């Protein structure tokens, strides 16, 4: 339970101003109207934010009547964070501006057998020269992450890993998150949606759910591990059990099914090419997957009731071929009328989504604190032993 004092009010009002400016340039008068603050209060806070280099003055408005106002906007690059996705196949690293722009991005692949040490060593080697001025590094893993521990990542074969140890020498604050959850954040953080489900359809299947603007994590960070819903046949899953949903609905499942039909394809690109050429077998396999996806979405709708579903992950590149069968199955199985027309769209950050979400863990925190953060970026002599992992408070307003 937060207490209130005069500092807290200032923080609240700075946050209100920054939040409004995230949606676009505004004059001081606009801000006064939007926040309900007195003009004098807005002027004072804006002055402060200009001093700190967070805001910039821009063009003048030209209203039909009265004095023109000065537009204010968030200064590009004034704050940014690093984000990384440590995936099954490879790693994505990027820097994300506080306005949502990807400043730079880099990707590389790993040998399948590469363990945590190897992957993180490369990540740090790449990230180290880029840390200057960053708020932190948020990275994602395709597994159950809670606080500073990775509990289980079936598709990497990792279990009970202490991330703290791996990160001991990195000179920035770090936060870890599940990849689907971070991806959901990437969709939501720059548009302020309240209810959304981000489906990662890849080697496995996972979903990141945003409910009332907050990321759903659960007690062990396992909320949204819908790839491991059981009751779908008897196929063995990477998690060690049988009949998990992702044995039927995933890239792995698609390739298996396709092979069982007699098809030959190694990866998504081949499949897409074949589908575009009109290969009937490939189209049948994709329709099969689309139908499973639609049935699944009907269940997802009664579980989380999102206002919108985003499909990401590698298999999502096949989305155009899945959409029709998916739509028909969803309509056939929907519980509510509203679910029949549930919008289902491909991801807007594409394959960078998870890494963008990782970075926005830090940006979210920055905005939540009204920009009063990272002003002393080197407490504790450059080390961050006291760093908070997997922030339980969740981002967003």
Partner DNA sequence: CTCCTTAGTTCGTTCTCAGGACTAAGTAAA
Partner DNA sequence: TTTACTTAGTCCTGAGAACGAACTAAGGAG
CB nearer DNA, residue 277 or residue 375: 375
Q: Are 258 and 285 in contact (CB under 8 A)?
A: yes
- Of 18, 21, 22, 37, the one binding DNA (CB under 7 A) is 37
Rounded Cα distance between 367 and 352, Å, is 22
- Of 1, 65, 260, 385, the one binding DNA (CB under 7 A) is 65
Q: Are 103 and 97 in contact (CB under 8 A)?
A: yes
Only one of the segments 48-56, 87-95, 214-222, 314-322 lies at the binding site for a second copy (rule: CB under 8 A); that segment is 214-222
- Of 164, 257, 333, 340, the one binding a second copy (CB under 8 A) is 333
Rule CB under 7 A: is residue 1 a binding residue for DNA? no
- Quick one: which H or E segment has residue 82? strand 80-86
Rule CB under 7 A: is residue 27 a binding residue for DNA? yes
Contacts (Cβ under 8 Å, ≥6 apart) of 294: 325, 326, 327, 328, 329, 330, 331, 332, 333
Rule CB under 8 A: is residue 394 a binding residue for a second copy? yes
Only one of the segments 7-15, 76-84, 165-173, 277-285 lies at the binding site for a second copy (rule: CB under 8 A); that segment is 7-15
- Of 122, 214, 272, 328, the one binding a second copy (CB under 8 A) is 214
Beta bridge partners of 26: 72
With CB under 5 to 8 Å by kind, the binding choice for 386 among a second copy, DNA, none is none
With CB under 5 to 8 Å by kind, the binding choice for 101 among a second copy, DNA, none is none
The dihedral sign for the CA sequence 382, 386, 392, 397: negative
Only one of the segments 34-42, 105-113, 192-200, 311-319 lies at the binding site for DNA (rule: CB under 7 A); that segment is 34-42
Q: Which one-letter DSSP state was computed for residue 313?
A: S
With CB under 5 to 8 Å by kind, the binding choice for 303 among DNA, a second copy, none is a second copy
Query: Which token pair is 174?
Result: 């770090």
- DSSP secondary structure string for all residues of 337-392: HHHHT--EEE-SSGGGHHHHHHHHHHHHHHHHTTT--SSSTTGGGG--TTPPPS-T
Rounded Cα distance between 61 and 52, Å, is 24
- DSSP secondary structure string for all residues of 2-31: ----HHHHHHHHHHHHHHHHHTS-B-HHHH
Comparing CA positions, the residue from 136, 22, 75 lying closest to residue 396 is 22
Rule CB under 8 A: is residue 194 a binding residue for a second copy? yes
With CB under 5 to 8 Å by kind, the binding choice for 39 among DNA, a second copy, none is DNA
- Of 241, 259, 378, 383, the one binding a second copy (CB under 8 A) is 241
- Of 19, 20, 25, 43, the one binding DNA (CB under 7 A) is 43
How many chain residues are in contact with DNA, going by CB under 7 A? 34
Rule CB under 7 A: is residue 159 a binding residue for DNA? no
- Of 101, 302, 320, 341, the one binding a second copy (CB under 8 A) is 302
CB nearer DNA, residue 38 or residue 302: 38
- Report the site for DNA in 98-137 (rule: CB under 7 A): none
Q: Are 154 and 204 in contact (CB under 8 A)?
A: yes
Query: Which token pair is 94?
Result: 């990027």
With CB under 5 to 8 Å by kind, the binding choice for 219 among a second copy, DNA, none is a second copy
| Cα–chain center distance at 72 | 28
With CB under 5 to 8 Å by kind, the binding choice for 51 among DNA, a second copy, none is none
- Of 63, 157, 343, 350, the one binding DNA (CB under 7 A) is 63
Query: Which token pair is 62?
Result: 């030209």
Rounded Cα distance between 388 and 372, Å, is 17
Rule CB under 8 A: is residue 226 a binding residue for a second copy? yes
Beta bridge partners of 159: 152
- Of 34, 41, 284, 287, the one binding DNA (CB under 7 A) is 41
Rule CB under 8 A: is residue 340 a binding residue for a second copy? no
Half-sphere exposure of 253 (CA within 13 A, CB side): 26
Count CB neighbours of 50 within 10 A.
Answer: 14
CB nearer a second copy, residue 138 or residue 395: 395
With CB under 5 to 8 Å by kind, the binding choice for 68 among DNA, a second copy, none is DNA
Q: β-strands 196-201, 174-178: how paired?
A: unpaired
- Report the site for a second copy in 262-301 (rule: CB under 8 A): 295, 298-299, 301
What are the residues binding DNA (CB under 7 A)?
A: 3-7, 9-10, 13, 27-30, 36-41, 43-47, 60-70
């Amino acid at each position: 339970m937060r207490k209130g004092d005069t500092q807290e009010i200032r923080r609240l009002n700075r946050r209100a101003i920054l939040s409004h400016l995230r949606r676009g340039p505004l004059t001081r008068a606009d801000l006064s109207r939007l926040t309900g603050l007195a003009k004098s209060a807005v002027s004072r806070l804006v002055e402060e934010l200009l001093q700190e280099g967070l805001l910039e003055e821009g063009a003048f408005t030209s209203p039909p009547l009265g004095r023109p106002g000065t537009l204010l906007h968030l200064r590009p690059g004034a704050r940014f964070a690093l984000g990384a996705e440590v995936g099954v196949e490879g790693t994505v690293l990027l820097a994300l501006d506080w306005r949502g722009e990807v400043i730079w991005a880099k990707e590389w692949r790993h040998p399948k057998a590469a363990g945590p040490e190897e992957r993180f060593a490369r990540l740090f080697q790449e990230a180290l020269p880029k840390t200057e001025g960053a708020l932190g590094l948020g990275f994602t893993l395709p597994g159950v992450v809670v606080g500073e521990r990775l509990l289980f990542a079936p598709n990497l074969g990792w279990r009970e890993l202490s991330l703290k140890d791996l990160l001991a020498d990195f000179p920035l604050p770090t936060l870890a998150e599940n990849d689907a959850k971070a991806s959901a954040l990437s969709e939501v953080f720059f548009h302020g949606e309240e209810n959304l489900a981000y489906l990662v359809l890849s080697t496995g299947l996972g979903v990141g759910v945003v409910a009332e603007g907050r990321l759903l994590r659960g007690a062990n960070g396992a909320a949204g591990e819908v790839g491991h819903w059981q009751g779908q046949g008897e196929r063995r899953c990477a998690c060690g059990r049988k009949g998990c949903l992702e044995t039927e609905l995933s890239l792995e499942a698609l390739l298996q099914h396709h092979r069982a039909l007699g098809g030959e394809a190694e990866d998504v690109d081949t499949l897409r090419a074949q589908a575009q050429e009109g290969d009937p077998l490939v189209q049948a396999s994709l329709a099969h997957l689309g139908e499973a996806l639609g049935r699944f979405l009907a269940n997802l709708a009664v579980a989380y009731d999102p206002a919108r579903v985003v499909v990401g992950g590698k298999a999502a590149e096949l989305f155009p071929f899945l959409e029709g069968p998916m739509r028909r199955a969803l309509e056939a199985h929907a519980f509510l009328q509203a679910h029949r027309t549930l919008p289902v769209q491909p991801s807007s950050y594409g394959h960078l989504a998870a890494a963008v979400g990782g970075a926005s863990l830090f940006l979210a925190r920055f905005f939540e604190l009204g920009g009063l953060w990272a002003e002393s970026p080197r407490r504790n002599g450059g080390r961050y032993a006291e760093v908070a992992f997997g922030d339980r408070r969740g981002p967003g307003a």
